[in-house]
Structure 1
Amino acid sequence: MLTFASLEDSLKHYFGHDTFRPGQKKIIEAALRNKDLLTIMPTGGGKSLCFQLPALLREGLTIVVSPLIALMQDQVDALQDNGINATYLNSTLEYEERRNRQIAILKNQVKLLYVAPERLLNERFALFLDRVHHDVGISAIAIDEAHCVSEWGHDFRPEYSQLKQIRQRYPQIPIQALTATATKRVREDIVNQLNLRSPDIHVASFDRSNIHYEIQPKDRNIYLKLLRAIRAESGAGIVYCLSRNRVEEIATRLKHDGIDALPYHAKLPVEERSKNQTSFLRDDVQIIVATIAFGMGINKPDVRFVFHYDLPRSLESFYQESGRAGRDGEPSKSVLFFSFGDRKKIEFLIEQKPDANEQKIARQQLRQVIDYAEGNDCRRKIILRYFGERYSGNCGKCDNCLNPKPIEDWTEEAQKFLSCVARCQEKFGTNHIVDVLIGSRKQKIHQYGHHLLSTYGIGKGRTADEWRMLGRSLIHQGLVGQTTDGYPVLKLNKRSWEIFRGQLKVEVAVDKSPGKTTTAYNPRQAEAELLFEKLRKLRKQIADRNSLAPYMIFADSSLKLMAQLRPKNITDFANLSGVNEYKAQQYGDRFISEILEFDRQHQLPVSIPSKSQMATLQLHQQGLSVTEIAQQRGFAVSTINTHLSELIEMNQPVALNKLVTPDKQQAIIEVIRQVGDMTLTPIKDSLGEEYSYEEIRLVRGWWRNNN
């Protein structure tokens, strides 16, 4: 086996990445100590690496339990394209091929074996595993999609509940359970069902910071709105619909309007469903229109947008489905088209459920989705609160944050609302509290004697919608609690009492205000985007020849780095994030040739400083500081810094060493080499608080001039 100086070195060797994503290294270190593990990491967080890298660093075979054939085949293909010895055994293989793979396993030529739970529990296969355990050694068992083990999970599978037999058969082999989402109840159930021994439990943040969340009204022109939205996007996308008929209708209309789209739902013939999925994974079509049947088995990291044509049934379903976008960490979009007509459809479906308790839970789940859709608060804050995670501040990336509503002080109204909750003895939900506040004459009010409360009718100065909006905001901000047992009853908490005592001010977003942002044309960025598209076409050609999905060759993020940094030799190419030595040798020459040819055809014209920039340069050469130049010219300091960075990029005589210390320059350059130079935020995030945006911008100017 190969040995490495650090885990980071092994990460670069096998997977081409320079750094771990948040939480990965800690989990891998625990796995290498042979600990039982439960890892909750959202889609796109990199949970597969948490069992794949330890498998490559330990002696013996790691068994991976995967629920879907397509999913295991996808992961094995991706590993093999990285030069990693992985395989699967499933029902799609002929006897001879299955036997050859088993021989390779017994010869210790395989590091990762993917199997379905049914096969793992098969007695004949168990005898084969006993031989592997004796001759080669089984280093660990990883159970992917572990929420399937729990009846409280969103995708329970009975065969998963029998996996505890593996612990009984191999009591000394560490087990690692992994899933994208699991409530506290589901986590406890996983630990018990799999008989995990004092497991290290790692719960990563559920925040998908690269996803832009947005709600759009759904009206009679919804299809045209969807069509325009798709035409405005680039890359692959998913459109989720509630019914099979709607899926077929939308897919047909999109094809008629020139969009490469295919349907996917449970009633399609298995072969057609598989063919459509493969076409989407390999970028032969741009759009898949699907019901929720298109879900867990989709391992496509470069989905750029997910549109919900219909209202999802629960906030957890919405999170799972919208999370199919941007698994590679690149900017992506989630748009939910919302109308009350969809609400009525789902309420009708709920009424068809025979079990009263199921109806109760489904209604609460629907209310949570509607609260999300109608909420004026940060969308990300609402989603994370659902998973028990508090998000401070606003994300600055969702529609509510980008087009903020005016903030008003509603402390007095909040005190009235919470006082009514208290006087109703914390036994009712938002709608009942609102009815009391506005003085409703509903029978339920009189039945409980709430028309006699001091809070009855004290909210007549506001509409019922305004009070409901306040109730949602109090819940989303964590200023009042809400039960989750099917009846969403409001409960006062510590922060509620701080509002009563005047120790906490309540601010609420109350209105809609349009806002637009404009982006200046950047010729360098436009050129990089053009090269990126050429590299995508090259990647597709190579993938088609090798019968692979394009993202298995290189991720979009790696192609963007190629387009920005434009490596001219194999050494520089291999240093890119997402490129390991194996892939550099396999594909490097083709991509470098494409980049060199592009450079020959496209040369940006030499820029000439403007009069304003030259005035800044003259004062700089006279020895004035940035602040002094800004004061003398009557400009903001940021404007002068922008002038200087642009002058440096134009190869003008700016004394960079007087503006940024040489050691900081070197650190900034190292990060630019890793993440590219198109946007400052990723550079700043890597460097930390000691580095200012002004310093980064100045050094970036030098980098661009010299590369």
Structure 2
Amino acid sequence: MDGSAFSPEAQTPSIDAASGVDAVLHGVFGFSGLRPGQERAIEALLAGDNVLAVMPTGAGKSLCFQIPALVMDGLTIVVSPLVALMRNQVDALKLNGVAADAIHSDRTRDDNVAIWRKAQRGELKLLYMSPERLMTDRMLAALARLPISLIAIDEAHCISQWGPAFRPEYNMLCDLPRHFPGVPIAALTATADPSTSQDICDKLFSNDVTQVMTGFDRPNLSLSVSLKSTWKKQVVDYVDARRGKCGIVYCLSRRKTEEVAALLRGEGHNAYAFHAGMEASEKEDLQNRFMTEEGVVMAATVAFGMGIDKPDIRYVLHTDLPASFEAYYQEIGRAGRDGAPAEAMMLYGLEDIRLRRTFIEQEDAGPERKRREHKRMDSLLVYCEAPDCRRQVLLRYFGEPSEPCGNCDTCLNPVDTMDGIEPAQQVLGAVQGTGNRYGAVHIVAILRGTTSEKIESMGHDRLPQFGAGAARSTAEWQGLIRQMVANGLLEIDIQGYGGLRAGPKANALMQGEVGFRYRPDRVAHTTKTAKARAKRAETLDGILDTDGRALLARLKDLRLTLAKERNAPAYVIFSDKSLIDMAHTRPRTKAEFSKVFGVGQAKLDEFADTFLEEIARSV
């Protein structure tokens, strides 16, 4: 069937273009209004303009293209990087009565052919696929014969080599304007600093694009960083304090994920390991468990996350320093997508810095990319060592000014800084006096006057710095050195063996031209900071009385049962916000139920009777 015969499947609402946005928003998705940025992006796409939307996780990026897709005539192609991400979005759309499907590698050839036939017959409004599948000569030629109204590219930062998850296959998408002239393209991401955004604008849009930037702040996320000490105990203590809540524990290696998962299971947590070395079937099973079961803790490498759109993740714990500020922002963005309070904690130490610098140098990339990556690492270290509001540092990196947040560890539990000029000069004297080649352990031993065969044989016990810092503990010197690295006073020699050498600011400090303040290290415990945060936190179900909370628990059980029957994530049935609204308003009729947050016509038809019956038991 050629494109002129395109007619949407009956289950997809027929929308008049003039009032289509409101009709889709209310009738299909059950929402009362648009969020900041959504309206501008939707209007631009409906006007035929290209759009780059940079919006924080949980801000509703998907609606920016899903609403135009339903308002416009024709088919929308959605480019998505992961099968899990496609599956979740398609499941959610289908439950809202939208004719959507996906062609991907987890399906048989016969299934993929059947879905393609539906697209040819005009029975789909949205078709999801990977960039690799889309950008083949055969697929492009076939799509050229269909009435394509819109193309949406999810996780668009993958297009840019400056993005945190550069994926060369995404580069092929830059040819889309040539293959589909006049078709508006929406590129969407939560993770793009100014250089990444500009790269996308240049490569994909030739700068012919409407940019929608709604800011990077996630005020419901509480940010914390702690010095890594006895990391296993720190992980157990942190997760224990959040027992029964869903969380992700990010680890640098596959081995460490297994170790952390076993450690947490030994403490009675429902914990699993997830990494790229697992079989596809095992990874899919673990993702399904995480999406459908309550209180799952996933110890994972960065292989876990991009395709996980679970709204009620209450915390993300990094056991190691992330790869970059963008990667960190993307990873913590998986917590608190429902808007309720959530936490992000990072453990890190000097060895993390050495490892990350080494990874950058070992990357198969040119000198310009390596230079940029080192600068990005510098910015992340400034965040880790910040004596003031962490959120200000984070948002400043993305070009967004802000006031102190009152919801990070440094705001909730402020630290005093100390004048560090003299000890920093002693460190630099020892580093330069030993030839800029020894690591922190050796330098601290010199400063504390610790004798050893190595120190004596090298004559380092005759340096003027030998024993000059005996009054300070080893831990204090190590913390000061780490902060000097973050400040640019010291560098780690990655090309050599990880030794310390004078950094770009060293001469100015030695000559008294610049100052240096440092903060005494502290290891975070679930005490003062956690109590202060708990006092501030107001959960979405705080409006419920005792009976309401009991009803909410039953509604969650009902939702989980329905989700398992459909092999779908629980939030696809209804979000927590929808269930809380039900437990608060306690609708008795379908008309009242239709006013619940997130209830569109399709969900009203399918679920109203079941949930109204459960609600009636409490009235």
Quickly say closer, same or farther: Cα 1:399–1:162, change in 2 above 3 A: same
**CA deviation after TM superposition for structure 1 residue 403, in Å:** 2.4
1:381 paired to 2:395: no
Q: Which residue identity lines up with residue 313 of structure 2 in the other structure?
A: V
Between the aligned partners of 1:328 and 1:274, the Cα distance in structure 2 is 23
**Among residues 86, 99, 116, which one is paired with 1:85 in the alignment?**
99
Quickly say closer, same or farther: Cα 1:398–1:554, change in 2 above 3 A: same
**Among residues 267, 271, 292, which one is paired with 2:302 in the alignment?**
292
Quickly say closer, same or farther: Cα 1:154–1:576, change in 2 above 3 A: same
- Give the number of the structure with larger relative contact order, counting CA–CA contacts within 8 Å between residues 6 or more apart: 2
The 3-state SS of whatever aligns with 2:617 is helix
1:590 paired to 2:600: no
Q: Which residue identity lines up with residue 575 of structure 2 in the other structure?
A: A
Residue 370 (structure 1) aligns with: 381
**CA deviation after TM superposition for structure 1 residue 338, in Å:** 3.1
Between the aligned partners of 1:206 and 1:523, the Cα distance in structure 2 is 28
CA RMSD in angstroms comes to: 3.8
Unmatched 5+ stretches in structure 2: 1-13, 437-468, 470-475, 489-501, 506-512
Residue 173 (structure 1) aligns with: 183
Quickly say closer, same or farther: Cα 1:489–1:578, change in 2 above 3 A: farther
Between the aligned partners of 1:555 and 1:263, the Cα distance in structure 2 is 26
**CA deviation after TM superposition for structure 1 residue 343, in Å:** 3.7
Instruction: Write out aligned runs for 1:520-559 (5 A).
Output: 524-559=544-579
Cα pair 1:47 1:178 within 8 Å, conserved: yes
Between the aligned partners of 1:250 and 1:61, the Cα distance in structure 2 is 45
Q: Which residue identity lines up with residue 159 of structure 2 in the other structure?
A: V
1:2 paired to 2:22: no
Quickly say closer, same or farther: Cα 1:351–1:112, change in 2 above 3 A: closer
Between the aligned partners of 1:572 and 1:327, the Cα distance in structure 2 is 27
**Among residues 341, 344, 347, which one is paired with 1:331 in the alignment?**
341
1:439-481 deviations in Å (ceiling 9; x for gaps):
958659x99xxxxxxxxxxxx9xx998899799899xxxxxxx
Cα pair 2:350 2:482 within 8 Å, conserved: no
Residue 101 (structure 1) aligns with: 115
Between the aligned partners of 2:192 and 2:313, the Cα distance in structure 1 is 23
Q: Which of 360-369 and 433-442 deviates more?
A: 433-442
**CA deviation after TM superposition for structure 1 residue 488, in Å:** 9.3
Quickly say closer, same or farther: Cα 1:544–1:467, change in 2 above 3 A: closer
The 3-state SS of whatever aligns with 1:598 is coil
1:643-666 deviations in Å (ceiling 9; x for gaps):
xxxxxxxxxxxxxxxxxxxxxxxx
**CA deviation after TM superposition for structure 1 residue 435, in Å:** 5.2
Residue 319 (structure 2) aligns with: 309
Q: Which residue identity lines up with residue 93 of structure 1 in the other structure?
A: R
Between the aligned partners of 1:532 and 1:163, the Cα distance in structure 2 is 45
The 3-state SS of whatever aligns with 1:48 is helix
Q: Which of 155-164 and 80-89 deviates more?
A: 155-164
Between the aligned partners of 1:255 and 1:466, the Cα distance in structure 2 is 36
1:422-441 deviations in Å (ceiling 9; x for gaps):
xxxxxxxxx9x995799958
Q: Which of 300-309 and 332-341 deviates more?
A: 332-341
The 3-state SS of whatever aligns with 1:131 is coil
1:318-354 deviations in Å (ceiling 9; x for gaps):
1111111112222211111233444444455556557
Cα pair 1:262 1:285 within 8 Å, conserved: no
Cα pair 2:192 2:326 within 8 Å, conserved: no
Residue 61 (structure 1) aligns with: 75
Between the aligned partners of 1:262 and 1:526, the Cα distance in structure 2 is 33
Unmatched 5+ stretches in structure 1: 418-430, 448-459, 475-486, 491-499, 501-506, 600-707
**Among residues 224, 242, 245, which one is paired with 2:255 in the alignment?**
245
**Among residues 140, 159, 169, which one is paired with 1:149 in the alignment?**
159
1:62-118 deviations in Å (ceiling 9; x for gaps):
111112222112211111011111111223333433333223222322111111112
**Among residues 272, 275, 295, which one is paired with 2:282 in the alignment?**
272
Cα pair 1:36 1:197 within 8 Å, conserved: no
1:198 paired to 2:202: no
Cα pair 1:27 1:50 within 8 Å, conserved: yes
**CA deviation after TM superposition for structure 1 residue 526, in Å:** 4.8
1:44 paired to 2:58: yes
Q: Which residue identity lines up with residue 258 of structure 2 in the other structure?
A: E
**CA deviation after TM superposition for structure 1 residue 554, in Å:** 0.7
The 3-state SS of whatever aligns with 1:276 is helix
Higher radius of gyration, 1 or 2: 1
The 3-state SS of whatever aligns with 1:43 is coil
Quickly say closer, same or farther: Cα 1:403–1:573, change in 2 above 3 A: farther
Equivalent pairs counted in the alignment come to: 535
Residue 8 (structure 2) aligns with: none
1:160 paired to 2:170: yes
**Among residues 396, 404, 407, which one is paired with 1:394 in the alignment?**
404
Residue 222 (structure 2) aligns with: 212
Residue 613 (structure 1) aligns with: none
